[in-house]
Structure 1
């Protein structure tokens, strides 16, 4: 494996994290800009509620699916490779996996809230919670794993295999 490829795993992880941040920002903008999802729950002009609601669901579910897919790939493919090469990182990887479970729970709560016709402020609170855990998780993961990834010789499997759908 070439040195360029080895160096790029850390870059790939940062790029996926950046794309997930962008997807969350887009979902948040959709909620904030929605005329149909007022703080009182009142719908906007006729037909607006359905279109805005569909856009909101699209952006929120897209973000949620991308984040969950990224974490499933890390748990199933990337973390076992890291642990095999660096058994001393097992506690770090277990903590990151717990974060993934917490984020899955928060995503599930957001989904239930959206399906129940959540108000703007309630939806934003859910996105705030996801963002807070996600940011803390990403910073810790990058701090702990970038140098390891840059030196790790991963078997062929492709970027999506290790990092999920956004590579």
Structure 2
């Protein structure tokens, strides 16, 4: 078996994928927040494009956290019971993030001003930075140290080529 295909290699790759997803979400949130600062429309409602980007970002972040709670976190809690307190904290963060996303979506529906949306996104950015850093620190090491296991066992998804 090629070293990159060993169980530990696959798990390290899963941890790396987690970090890559978080990096992409951070970039998208930064782009969204920068869009709120764009000149020409300050103080007025959000443009259709900016609203669409915001809705898309909110949906992507919600899918990511819902997937973690239903998949990876459940499996990690079964396999590594000592991680349960960490996973519970991360899931609690997911609920707070979901509340913020609902508030952002309500502001978009109400055609709120940029300042209101910006305040929610600034709070979201602070929470997510802390959340992502903590999750990466705690789960990357757990995935890398987990003995054996496949992507299908851990995340309910068969490995490529094993369908």
Cα distance in structure 1, aligned partners of 2:81 and 2:153: 21
Cα distance in structure 1, aligned partners of 2:15 and 2:26: 17
Q: Shift of the alpha carbon at 1:158?
A: 9.3
The change in CA–CA distance for 1:60 and 1:11 in structure 2 (over 3 A counts) is same
Give the corresponding residue for 1:112.
106
Give the corresponding residue for 1:92.
86
- Runs of at least 4 residues off by over 3 Å: 157-161
Q: Shift of the alpha carbon at 1:157?
A: 7.2
Contact 1:20/1:67 (<8 A) preserved: yes
Contact 1:79/1:93 (<8 A) preserved: yes
Query: Is 1:156 aligned to residue 156 of structure 2?
Result: no
Gaps in structure 2 of 5+ consecutive residues: 158-163
Deviations 1:76-98 (A, max 9, x none): 00001111111011111111101
Q: Shift of the alpha carbon at 1:154?
A: 3.8
Gaps in structure 1 of 5+ consecutive residues: 44-51, 162-167
Give the corresponding residue for 1:83.
77
Give the corresponding residue for 1:22.
27
Number of residue pairs the alignment of both structures matches: 150
The change in CA–CA distance for 1:159 and 1:21 in structure 2 (over 3 A counts) is farther
Give the corresponding residue for 1:74.
68
Cα distance in structure 1, aligned partners of 2:29 and 2:128: 10
Q: Shift of the alpha carbon at 1:10?
A: 1.0
Give the corresponding residue for 1:122.
116
The change in CA–CA distance for 1:90 and 1:159 in structure 2 (over 3 A counts) is closer
TM-score scaled to structure 1, two decimals?
A: 0.81
SS at match of 1:117: coil
Cα distance in structure 2, aligned partners of 1:157 and 1:16: 20
Contact 2:100/2:124 (<8 A) preserved: yes
